[in-house]
Structures are given as structure tokens and as C-alpha cells.
Amino acid sequence: MAQRRSSRSRRRQAPGAAERWLLLIGVVAFVVIAAGVMGPWRPEKVVPNLPEPMSMAEARASNARVPIEARRWLPPIRYRFRGGPAERAQATECLATAALYEAGDDRPGQRAVIQVILNRVRAPGFPRTICGVVYQGSSRVTGCQFSFTCDGSIRRRTIHWGWGGARRAAREALAGRVYRPVGRATHYHTDWMVPYWRDTMVKVAKVRTHLFYIRA
């Protein structure tokens, strides 16, 4: 008797199972048809929200609108070099190289670059040596602190009559001479460009076409 009831129960469940199979087949057919009509799904490309490139004139106008905050300017501190003759010679060469590649044979520009490097040596977040500051990030294509160390310029080093002046400025700075106009600035750029970090810093000085900043 129990076996007959079980058999009748299975027969009653059979139509429901068939309906489920028909529904599954219908869903699969719909997906196949939709894929054929719409084509394969491709993720939408995300376009980064990058600033529009500026012309030199636009960059200069933009930089001119950022005021110099004279009240944030502080006088530079004399640098006291601690090291032997070999270390001093190495530091002199690193300073002179950076000064010449960054400022050419412009003496005020060279001294400004040297002062920024010495300011960085004593600022948090930078290497504690002069050569370490100059070549920070040089192993990366982008990310170096001084562009000449990672854009290939350093490999094209040629004889330049400005080397004598750059080395003299470096020796004077290591002996304690400061370049007062830039104060304790740790960053700078030319006025015909707008670096991504500009608006996170405080402008404290301008020397010819270069603008100098401290951390906010």
C-alpha cells in the first residue's frame, strides 16, 4: 500500500520537474540570443581625470595668480658639513652637478639650487646626505627629484665652462655661505610650468624665472 502512494507521489511531482527544465532551457536560450544580438560584453574604459595641458603663457598666468606669502619666509640656516676630505669632494661634485644642470651658468640660479638641496638635507622626508638628495628617485623613469638624474641628461655630460663657477658656489655653500632670497624653500619650478604639487605648497620666493616653495 505504501509503495503505491509513493509511486503516485512521484507521478504528481513529475510535471513540476518538467516545468523547471523547460524554464531553465528558456533562460539559456534567451542568454544565447541576447549575446548574439548585443555582442560580447566589454568593460567601459575609465578615462582618468587629468588636467588639460597648459601653454607656457597660460602656465605663467596661472603661477602669477598664486601670491608669494612673505610672512612664511624664513632665513636660511648655515650648513655645517661634517665629513672628511673625500666626503666633502663628493658632496661638492653632487652640488655642482645639480647646480649646472638645473641652472646652467647662471650664478644666482646655481646658488638657489644649491640652497634648496641643503635645505632638503635637513628637512623631514628627504635623504640625509647631499648626494642622496640630488639623486633621490634617479632609478625611476619618473619620480626623480631633479630631472637631469633620470631623463638621460647626466649621460651626456660635456665640457662646460660653467663648471668652475658651479664648483666654487658648492664649496662656498659647504663652508657656510647661504643664499638668502630662497630662504628655507625645499621645492621650486620654472614659471612656464605648473607641477602637480604646486597647490599643496606655499610660495615664498621668486628668483628670476624660478618660483620657490615650502611645505604648507
127, 119 contact by CB (below 8 A): no
Q: What CATH architecture applies to the domain 56-215?
A: Orthogonal Bundle (1.10)
Backbone φ and ψ of 201, nearest 5°? -120, 175
Q: pLDDT digit of tens for each residue in the chain (216 aa)?
A: 444 444 444 444 445 666 666 666 665 555 445 455 444 544 444 444 455 688 999 999 999 999 999 999 999 999 999 999 999 999 999 999 999 999 888 999 999 999 999 999 999 999 999 999 999 876 665 567 777 767 666 666 655 678 999 999 999 999 999 999 999 999 999 999 999 999 999 999 999 999 999 999
Question: Per the structure block, which three cell numbers stand in for 116?
Answer: 634648496
Query: Could you tell me the CA-to-CA distances from 79 to 3, 25, 166 in Å, in that order?
Result: 102, 81, 17
For residues 123 and 184, what is the distance between their CA atoms, to the nearest angstrom? 9
pTM (predicted TM-score): 0.72
For residues 128 and 83, what is the distance between their CA atoms, to the nearest angstrom? 13
